[in-house]
């Protein structure tokens, strides 16, 4: 703690300097008003300023106080006055004085100064952190709302198909454990190319926060720009998106990338043609047998997007038969984990499979909600540290 002191009594000034210059604290004490102003002007931060209202008198000290407030607007100023002058503190208080201390005849107040000034400094730091945290909440919330605005609504599907989808942001804790809902890099999109073709798209940008969110916004813009070309071949679409993203420094800067699963579902043939750019492979559940399998091996996906413009991708074809459910998801669902555990454990693929199998006879919306609930419950109250997007589709009998 760095303390600047302006004091009228030289003997008391020496004692104050002695008591305030302990441990990691540093005090500069002067009885010269001009030096007090000069010290306030020096480069560097003062944590708190302590001054008497008798330097040299009430009116003179108020002029010095106003000058100090002008020079150091963010620094708290504490005044010390005689008991009979308490009523004069009103104008100091209305002009920004943090608090005041009463001077007693025996100068015993000096022994309380260290603790009192430390309390003032701690309170000011707390207030600053709260303001910064609130500003962060407001900025992140604005970007997050922009991100949420691009998620599709009112999705209509042909008879025999149902779909539920959600993007859920991660949280970080600041200031006493209060959470901030973060902007993030997860994304999904669902739209119809024509009466019998539906696009299912899930993406996940590396990292968290503003950069990840802006990377996803860039990918979304590109996908919307070129989707009218009706890329029924997913690999061709992914190649095109990758080439454009490699030209966008906002994504690839500092090693950033995006994983993506792009699929086109033919609802006449009940066939999904899909392509993975480093993304988790979709899961297909047979509701009659209650068996779940990945649509391909883990290595079926190509490189994530925005790494190299020459990356090659492959289109896979899978049947989505009647009596089945198809799950597309980002890794936030599986990578949920509790904080502070001695052994790192995740909800994982086993958690996803267990939920799907246990609720095989439940309505689609209930299964979907339980996936999120159980993944979150696995964190034991700490919340998922990665944003999560999930698309769950059912082809009924």
The answer to whether the predicted template modeling score (pTM) of the entire model surpasses 0.75 is no
Domain boundaries, the chain: 2-127, 150-395
- Banded model confidence at residue 221, pLDDT cuts 50, 70, 90: confident
Is residue 260 a contact partner of residue 279, using CB atoms and an 8 Å limit? yes
CATH of domain 150-395: 3.60.40.10
Nearest to 288, CA basis, from 329, 317, 326, 325: 325
pLDDT at position 175 is: 47
- Banded model confidence at residue 33, pLDDT cuts 50, 70, 90: very high
What is the mean pLDDT of the segment spanning 303-310?
93
pLDDT at position 209 is: 67
Window from 171-180, 196-205, 233-242 with minimum mean pLDDT:
171-180
Q: Write the DSSP assignment of 16-82 as a string of letters.
A: HHHHHSSTT-EEEEES-HHHHHHHHHSSS--SEEEEES-SS-HHHHHHHHHHHHHH-TTS-EEEEEE
pLDDT at position 180 is: 52
At residue 307, does pLDDT exceed 90?
yes
- Banded model confidence at residue 228, pLDDT cuts 50, 70, 90: low
pLDDT > 70 in the chain, percent: 88
- Banded model confidence at residue 231, pLDDT cuts 50, 70, 90: low
Nearest to 209, CA basis, from 184, 179, 187: 184
> Which class is domain 2-127?
alpha beta
């Amino acid at each position: 703690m760095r303390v600047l002191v302006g004091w009228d009594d030289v003997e008391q000034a020496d004692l104050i300097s002695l008591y305030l210059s302990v441990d990691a604290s540093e005090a500069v004490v002067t009885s010269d008003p001009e030096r007090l102003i000069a010290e306030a002007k020096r480069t560097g931060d003062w944590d708190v300023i302590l001054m008497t209202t008798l330097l040299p008198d009430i009116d003179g000290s108020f002029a010095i106080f106003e000058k100090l407030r002008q020079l150091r607007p963010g620094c708290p100023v504490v005044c010390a006055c005689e008991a009979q002058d308490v009523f004069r503190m009103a104008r100091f208080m209305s002009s920004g004085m943090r608090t005041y201390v009463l001077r007693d005849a025996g100068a015993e107040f000096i022994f309380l100064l260290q603790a009192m000034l430390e309390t003032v400094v701690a309170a000011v730091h707390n207030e600053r952190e709260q303001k910064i945290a609130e500003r962060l909440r407001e900025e992140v919330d604005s970007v997050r709302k922009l991100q949420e605005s691009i998620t599709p609504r009112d999705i209509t599907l042909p008879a025999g198909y149902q779909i539920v989808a959600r993007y859920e942001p991660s949280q970080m804790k600041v200031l006493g454990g209060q959470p901030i809902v973060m902007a993030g890099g997860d994304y999904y999109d669902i739209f119809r190319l024509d009466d019998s073709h539906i696009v299912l798209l899930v993406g996940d940008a590396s990292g968290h926060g503003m950069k990840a969110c802006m990377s996803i916004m860039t990918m979304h813009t590109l996908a919307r720009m070129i989707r009218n070309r009706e890329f029924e071949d997913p690999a061709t679409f992914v190649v095109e998106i990758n080439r454009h993203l490699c030209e966008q420094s906002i994504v690839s800067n500092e090693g950033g990338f995006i994983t993506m699963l792009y699929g086109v579902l033919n609802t006449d043939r009940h066939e999904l043609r899909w392509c993975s750019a480093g993304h988790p492979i979709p899961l297909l559940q047979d509701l009659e047998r209650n068996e779940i399998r990945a649509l391909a091996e883990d290595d079926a996906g190509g490189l994530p997007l925005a790494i190299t413009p020459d990356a090659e991708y492959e289109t896979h074809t899978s049947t989505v038969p009647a009596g089945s459910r198809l799950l597309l998801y980002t890794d936030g669902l599986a990578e949920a984990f509790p904080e502070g555990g001695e052994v790192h454990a995740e909800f994982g693929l086993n958690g996803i499979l267990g939920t799907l199998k246990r609720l095989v006879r439940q309505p689609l919306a209930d299964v979907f909600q339980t996936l999120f609930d159980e993944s979150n419950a696995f964190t034991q109250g700490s919340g998922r540290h990665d944003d999560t997007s999930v698309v769950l589709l059912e082809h009924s009998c």
